[in-house]
Amino acid sequence: MSRITISKLQAMKSAGEKISAITAYDASFSRLFDEAGMHVMLIGDSLGMVLQGTSDTLPVSIEDVEYHTKCVRNGASKALIIGDMPFMTYATPEQAYGNAAKLMQAGANMVKVEGGEWLLDTISGLVERSVPVCGHLGLTPQAVNVFGGFKVQGRDSEQAKQILEQALKLEEAGIQLLVLECIPADLAKKISEALTIPVIGIGAGKHTDGQILVMHDAIGISFSKIPKFSRNFLAETGNISDAIALYIDEVTQGRFPSEEHSFK
């Protein structure tokens, strides 16, 4: 596999080729994922829950993500690397610029932010300053206290309309990738078709341009219950390398996620 760039992901969407993505936090796993042909790795603020043992992502710092981004970059030479911007590290455009610079200098190719219309100026400012941006809509874990828990979003028509409108505005502001989390599959399909940029789903059905899972869920080592939208590929294969190869194949062939991993 040649080095994955934003342009390559865009070409994959245009060609109808599925994008495989996974969270990663260290050099050993990132090298395994890279050698298996994973297209995208996200250093997610999920590290708070799966590495640090917190109940949500809110305590994660920019220094945490910066450190793990360096580790992941040391193991990966081909995959596109995305660094998550943790809670309240991009509350203002100026704050976002400084913190995004830390992640890019640590080895990220792109940063990810959660939220809709309030981020438009920040996104356009980052892009103007040569920082590619990935958006994130639907269930945005940093807003867990606003949502009252980790709940599926966009099930009623008004909320679904708002998510679609926000996606279009984010694209106009300059995002080059969008993550949709825990929304109905038909809404994710509509958004993926409406946007020209690639859309990556997690709990968003099979009609997005690609899929991402938390690595601990994909190989069944989370100490919490595996979410409905995930699948334990290690249980099906018996070793981690084969599990990751199966995950990539199931995504690229359009077999994962199935209806049982999706929301209506």
| Annotated binding-site members | 45-46, 84, 112, 114
Are the C-beta atoms of residues 186 and 208 closer than 8 Å to each other?
Answer: no
Q: Out of 181, 193, 250, 259, which one is annotated catalytic?
A: 181
Angle at 7 between CA 154 and CA 19, to 5 degrees: 50
Cα 231 → chain centroid = 16
Are the C-beta atoms of residues 23 and 213 closer than 8 Å to each other?
Answer: yes
**HSE of 257, CA atoms in CB hemisphere, 13 A:** 31
Whose CA is closest to 208, among 167, 159, 162, 149? 167
Which two structure tokens, joined as six digits, stand for 189? 């399909």
Are the C-beta atoms of residues 180 and 159 closer than 8 Å to each other?
Answer: no
Residue ranges at the known binding site for 3-methyl-2-oxobutanoate: 45-46, 84, 112
Q: Are strands 19-23 and 210-213 parallel, antiparallel or unpaired?
A: parallel
Cα 38 → chain centroid = 13
Give yes or no: 181 in active site: yes
Element (H, E) at 159: helix 157-173
Residue ranges at the known binding site for Mg(2+): 45, 84, 114
The catalytic residues are 181
